[in-house]
Structures are given as C-alpha cells and as structure tokens.
Structure 1
Amino acid sequence: MTGREWSVEESLEIPAPPQTVYAALADVRRMKEWSPEVVWVWPRGDRFVGINRKACWVWFATCRIVTADPGREFAFDNTTFGLPVARWGYRLTPTEQGTLVTEYWTDRRRRGWRRRLAELLGLVFTGTPAARRAALNRAGMRTTLRRLSAACRTAA
C-alpha cells in the first residue's frame, strides 16, 4: 500500500498549564465537546465506549486507556469487535505561554485477515476507506485541538 499514512500528528500551543489540559483530556466524557466525530462517551474505569458520527454513518469504538501520565501524556487504544484499530494520544509539553499539545493517531490495523476485517468494518461503519483515514483524522485533529484550546482557556 504505497503512500498510505499509518500515523498522523498535529500540534497546537494552548495558553493553559499542562495540568489544566490534562484534566480536560483525562475526563473522556468531555471528548464530545471538541472532537468533530464523537457524540457520546460512556466511561468504565480505564475503559470507555465512544459513539461517533460522520454524516449518516454512526459507529462505536471500544477504548482502553494505555497511558495516563498527569500533565504529560494521555493515550488510549481503540478496538472494534475485539480487533485493534488505532491508538489515539496527546503529548503535553510545557511552554512559556502554556502547553504545546501534540495529538497523535497510529493505525493498528497492520497485517493478515484481522487487518482486512477491521478495514472492512471501518468502511461499513464510517464510510471511510482505510487509506483515507489518516487525512480525515488530520483534519479532525485540527478541529479537536482548536476546540480543546478554547475549553482550556475558559477553564484557566
């Protein structure tokens, strides 16, 4: 698959301290406030289920928090029907004006029949071919980071 992007990163400096940004991110119920796809989140300890929507497509994502380092990084793995799909995360770096937030996504659909099945399910549920997911996520990250910044400015 020549040219397919398997990971994407976007960064934005947010005028709030890392602890404020981390608190917003770690409260996964708030993800619907800034993500253009998330419409609802049901937290269950270190796991949560997110309901996502894009146009007429609606799907769920089962997630497990894999990194919870207050003020530094928050990340979770996304699976569908037990199949690995992606890792989403946020790295926080203090700056003079606040926090540089780097949102990252890594496609975990790597090989074999499980990859093909996860890609097919992704297409059916989201309407997006796997090869175009990175570009869609990059645009979504920019929106997410802008909305997160606005929420953190209000909180600070």
Structure 2
Amino acid sequence: MSADVTERITIAAPAAEVYRAVSDVRRMARWSPECFAVWVWSRRGDAQARFVGFNRRGPFLWFTSCRVTAAVPDEEFAFEVTAFGLPVSLWGYRLAEVPEGVELSEYWEDRRGRGGRVLGRVFTGRVANDRPRANREGMRTTLERLKRELEAA
C-alpha cells in the first residue's frame, strides 16, 4: 500500500465556506476521529501559522507540531507535521468547484524517516505499514462529518 493517501467527497456548499472550515484548524477536533484538540500558537496570516494538534487512538495519546505551508483561499490549505523535531507528514485539502458544489480532497503524505516510524509506533500503537490504512479510514470519517455539518448549515 502506498504511503500517500487521498480521499475525496463532494459537498453541496460554496467553496469559500468549505475553505473557511478546513483552514480553521481548531474545528478539526469536531470531525477527526483522532484529533481531539488544537492549540494555535502563532498567527501570521494564514500562511506560516503554527499550531499543536492533540491526538488519541484508543489508549494512545500524542501531540504534533504543525506549520501551515499552503493557504490559498477556495483552492488549497496544507500543513506540515513534526514530532519531537522529526518530520512526520504533510496534510492538506484541495478544493475544486463542481456543479454539485465542491469536490474536497484530503491528502496525507508520509514524511517519516526511521526515527519517526519508531516514535509513531510508540505513541500511536500503529506499525508504520498500518498508518496509511488508519489514515484513509480517518479521512473518510472526517470528510463525512465535515460534509454533514456544512450541508446542514
């Protein structure tokens, strides 16, 4: 299985509304099955903002440091993730207008080296090869919850 994962969903909402939702990282805890809190500690506009994500899966708890790398309204929002100074991943969202609203793609790129894979196993309880599958499942849940909330508004 590839270490890079992308999931897509179509949301019947304006692109500006979808972008506002995914770029407000504090809201992620409402949709994600792993992230339960976000602390934003640096706001230099959207680009280059920094935040900490607090995550859990079963009995495992961990946090990551994140830095926004792309903040293009109505098009893309992305951030790189590190843990203990080691690269972990790149997470992002791409938006494309379609007749039904917006096709939202959530993507994850694995950037872990050997040290990151070992730490990942310790803190998440997942072996390195299992992370893409776990993330794909989590992305599907996140996108479904996001769609439900935005379409109900």
Asked whether the equivalents of residues 5 and 131 of structure 1 are also in contact (C-alpha less than 8 Å), the reply is no
Does residue 23 (structure 1) correspond to residue 20 (structure 2)? The answer is yes
Give yes or no for the alignment of 1:88 onto 2:91: yes
After superposition, what is the alpha-carbon deviation per residue over 1:13-66, rounded to whole angstroms, capped at 9, x for unaligned?
001011100001111100001010000000122000010000000000110000
Q: Percent identity?
A: 50
Query: In 1, distance between residues paired with 2:64 and 2:145?
Result: 21
Aligned to 1:57: 60
Q: Which residue of 1 aligns with 2:51?
A: 48
Ranges in structure 1 where 5+ consecutive residues have no aligned partner: 110-114
Deviations 1:121-146 (A, max 9, x none): 10000000111100000000100000
Aligned residue type for 2:131: R
Q: 1:39: which partner in 2?
A: 36
C-alpha RMSD of the superposition: 0.8
Are the aligned partners of 1:29 and 1:41 in contact in 2 as well (CA < 8 Å)? yes
Counterpart among 3, 6, 9 of residue 6 in structure 1: 3
Number of the residue aligned with 1:140: 138
CA apart distance, 1:117: 1.1
TM-score, scaled to structure 2: 0.94
2:46 equivalent in structure 1: none
Aligned residues: 147
Alpha-carbon distance in 1 for matches of 2:142, 2:150:
12
Specify the alignment match of 1:129 in structure 2: 127
Aligned to 1:98: 101
Q: Deviations over 1:90-124 (max 9, x none)?
A: 00000111100000000012xxxxx1111111000
TM-score (norm 1): 0.92
Q: Which amino acid is the alignment partner of residue 105 of structure 1?
A: W
Could you list the structure 1 runs, at least 4 aligned residues long, displaced by more than 3 angstroms after superposition: none
